[in-house]
Amino acid sequence: MQNTATPTHCPYCALQCGMNLTPAPDGTVELSERADFPVNRGALCGKGRTAPAVLSSRVRLTSPLVRSEGTLVPASWEEALDRIAEGLRRTRTEHGPDACGVFGGGGLTNEKAYTLGKFARVVLGTSQIDYNGRFCMSSAAAAGMKAFGLDRGLPFPLEDIPKTGCVILVGSNLAETMPPSLRFFNELRENGGTLIVIDPRRTKTAEQADLHLAPRPGTDLALALGLLHLVVAEGRTDEEYIRERTTGWEAARAEALAHWPEYVERITGVSVPELRETVRMFCEPESAMVLTARGPEQQSKGTDTVGAWINLCLATGRAGRPLSGYGCLTGQGNGQGGREHGQKADQLPGYRKLTDPEARRHVAEVWGVDPDSLPGPGRSAYELLDALGTDIRALLLMGSNPVVSAPRAAHVEDRIKSLDFLAVCDVVLSETAALADVVLPVTQWAEETGTTTNLEGRVLLRRKAITPPDGIRSDLEVMHELADRLGVDKGFPTDPEEVFEELRRASAGGPADYSGITYRRLAEENGVFWPCPTEEPAEEPTHPGTPRLFHDRFATEDGRARFVPVAHRATAEEPDDEYPVLLTTGRVVSQYQSGAQTRRVDELNAAAPGPFVELHPRLAARLGAAEGDPVAVVSRRGRAVAPARITSAIRPDTVFMPFHWPGEGRANTLTNPALDPTSRMPEFKVCAVRVEAVQG
């Protein structure tokens, strides 16, 4: 490896900030600013800046581990791979292919996600594959598909945000989850635009807003309906746009009119004057956007909730027009690409549907298999985890840590423990890997080349910048070796570019068409937005990519966006005498998701050493709890204990816990796996709890 700077991207969130990495003589890597990447222009948050620390072998697994007499002990690669192949083969023989489960991650590159989906369906013949991205943005994806006929997180580049007139940010704390993105919102305000933040907490993001609405958790759907009611009542609809570019308005309008402002105020706690001011700020400028994140999406009615916000955009003519639109701020590094290429239970590469005969034929031809041999759709992520140890007897898990990140986590942990066989590929011994029969140490971001697709739909090239420690192999090598051992000796290359070339063909003609994207283009063009189709021959494709979607037409059959009529309904668990408080969960700036990587970084641990329970002074006073006192949060699923953090920035009826930690303070011990009927997204964002003082 040369000692020159390699331009690449952060391993963590969907912003996929650019950075330069240079190998240092002592075997470490030096990180430097990469100002040419337009998304972050050199800026990084603390997670990205310290990411090289996770490359150090001090915190890494550097040898395969196999369980022997109850303990994980080092083993050779041959022994470990043989054990996994035998575990999967035996399960398949004794219980059938669907007894083998595969669970992926939103951090896997496109090449890995693609290969994992192919491995599940071609090598194992199982329908039981899904990934943790289901927990991230699937409700927004489902709502986008219903309304626009296509799901791409943002249908426009981030650089459009400063030029619009108003942004409503629903349930997103960008100041902590992706700090470099705040620049776009600061520029928006400098340009005279306004920012409205909707969040039950006065977060660091909300503090920077022109208007902050703090609805009761789980009522974003009612809030959007109340706003739409006022839009109609105040004559602010764009009738020409509705007529020419949409269908279904009358039914959506009727639902909105049933949600009069005073009723919405009672449901949400947001006052009628605040609702009116929001409508004024959103409707007066020529252009405006609504951006949602996990707040409205991680609900048992997440798809309808996002649908209500999309309806607001459509009724006001703010979708598919320059500087206007609805977008989802995808969370995980490759949450977007991960769902486009086949590790989601119901999808084939190119965002094709597994139930579509033509899609099956196309992909089967690329894979060289009989279309009829491809299994149908499988269970969604939580349902798959819930079936472990019963219908699903063996699990191959890659790039995920559900013991910390899944809802009702103690139950999920029990299900994982009840498996006949568990194999985990990871870079560290995560809480889930610690339960495995075999653990494989794999390469990570800076040690391998691959593509990711950021929240804008921009496909990026993450380049290899450093040689991995001895004893580590890539996920692609693992799947190649396992396929070979399970009788499939071709079709699983270990070279990422070779995989990408196949992915291009598999995606060609699909909704997420990558066929016009090549590694060469990605290296030269700083990313290419999909869809990017090409005509054969495809060696030198010229399609410019599609930064902005829907300006001419939506991706529906008739080219019109569809209003979807939605109505307010309660959360799966409303407060009662036994559980009178609402819990909402989220992230802090110095940790990432389950913390498997960031909890290994000293600087991040110093900044965010452990969980806490954020509660209002009035609630704290009722409990007799002072700042830092341990408090217990109890739901129908379990009990978590963490120090109190008392702040008037949260509603008195709500407590907040970050979800990055295992053990006694694990927030997901409490969360509710109630699923959205369409997206199968669990209701992480709201459940009923009681809060108790803990006697010292």
Residues 6+ apart with CB under 8 A from 264: 222, 223, 225, 226, 229, 270, 275
Specify the residue, 47 or 408, whose C-beta has the smaller distance to ligand SF4: 47
For residue 574, count other CB atoms closer than 10 A to its CB: 12
Residue 588 sits in the site that holds ligand SF4 (CB under 6 A): no
Smallest distance from the beta carbon of 12 to ligand SF4, in angstroms? 3
Smallest distance from the beta carbon of 446 to ligand SF4, in angstroms? 13
Q: Give the SS3 label for residue 206.
A: helix
Specify the residue, 137 or 252, whose C-beta has the smaller distance to ligand SF4: 137
The residue from 15, 161, 242, 613 that contacts ligand SF4 (CB under 6 A) is 15
Query: Do 379 and 130 touch, CB atoms closer than 8 A?
Result: yes
DSSP per-residue string spanning 396-452: EEES--HHHHSSSHHHHHHHHHT-SEEEEEESS--TTGGG-SEEEEB--GGGS-EEE
Specify the residue, 330 or 430, whose C-beta has the smaller distance to ligand SF4: 330
The Cα 317–Cα 239 span in angstroms is 8
Smallest distance from the beta carbon of 18 to ligand SF4, in angstroms? 9
Specify the residue, 47 or 504, whose C-beta has the smaller distance to ligand SF4: 47
Residue 590 sits in the site that holds ligand SF4 (CB under 6 A): no
Residue 156 sits in the site that holds ligand SF4 (CB under 6 A): no
The residue from 7, 34, 37, 48 that contacts ligand SF4 (CB under 6 A) is 48
Distances (CA, A) of 68 to 62, 279, 459: 18, 63, 43
* Adjacency order of strands within the sheet including 166-170: 211-213, 194-198, 166-170, 289-292, 325-328
Smallest distance from the beta carbon of 48 to ligand SF4, in angstroms? 2
Q: Which stretch binds ligand SF4 (CB under 6 A): 6-14, 254-262, 484-492, 529-537?
A: 6-14
Residue 75 sits in the site that holds ligand SF4 (CB under 6 A): no
Which residues, numbered 180-239, are part of the site for ligand SF4 (CB under 6 A)? 180
Residue 589 sits in the site that holds ligand SF4 (CB under 6 A): no
The residue from 31, 45, 154, 289 that contacts ligand SF4 (CB under 6 A) is 45
Specify the residue, 12 or 421, whose C-beta has the smaller distance to ligand SF4: 12
Residue 44 sits in the site that holds ligand SF4 (CB under 6 A): yes
Beta bridge partners of 325: 289
**Element housing 602 (H / E):** helix 602-607
The residue from 12, 148, 282, 656 that contacts ligand SF4 (CB under 6 A) is 12
Query: Do 175 and 161 touch, CB atoms closer than 8 A?
Result: no
Residue 47 sits in the site that holds ligand SF4 (CB under 6 A): yes
Specify the residue, 16 or 127, whose C-beta has the smaller distance to ligand SF4: 16
Query: Do 550 and 155 touch, CB atoms closer than 8 A?
Result: yes
Q: Which stretch binds ligand SF4 (CB under 6 A): 15-23, 157-165, 227-235, 648-656?
A: 15-23
Smallest distance from the beta carbon of 179 to ligand SF4, in angstroms? 6
With left for phi above 0 and alpha for psi between -120 and 50, is residue 402 left, alpha or beta?
Answer: alpha
Q: At residue 506, what are phi and psi to the nearest 5 degrees?
A: -65, -35
The residue from 6, 7, 8, 16 that contacts ligand SF4 (CB under 6 A) is 16
**Element housing 34 (H / E):** none
The residue from 8, 13, 194, 347 that contacts ligand SF4 (CB under 6 A) is 13
Which residues, numbered 169-188, are part of the site for ligand SF4 (CB under 6 A)? 178-180
CA 260 centroid distance within chain: 33
Query: Do 658 and 612 touch, CB atoms closer than 8 A?
Result: yes
Distances (CA, A) of 348 to 370, 532, 619: 15, 18, 49
Smallest distance from the beta carbon of 15 to ligand SF4, in angstroms? 4
Query: How many residues line the site for ligand SF4 (CB under 6 A)?
Result: 14
Q: At residue 177, what are phi and psi to the nearest 5 degrees?
A: -85, -35
Residues forming contacts to ligand SF4 in the complex (CB under 6 A) are 10, 12-13, 15-17, 40, 44-45, 47-48, 178-180
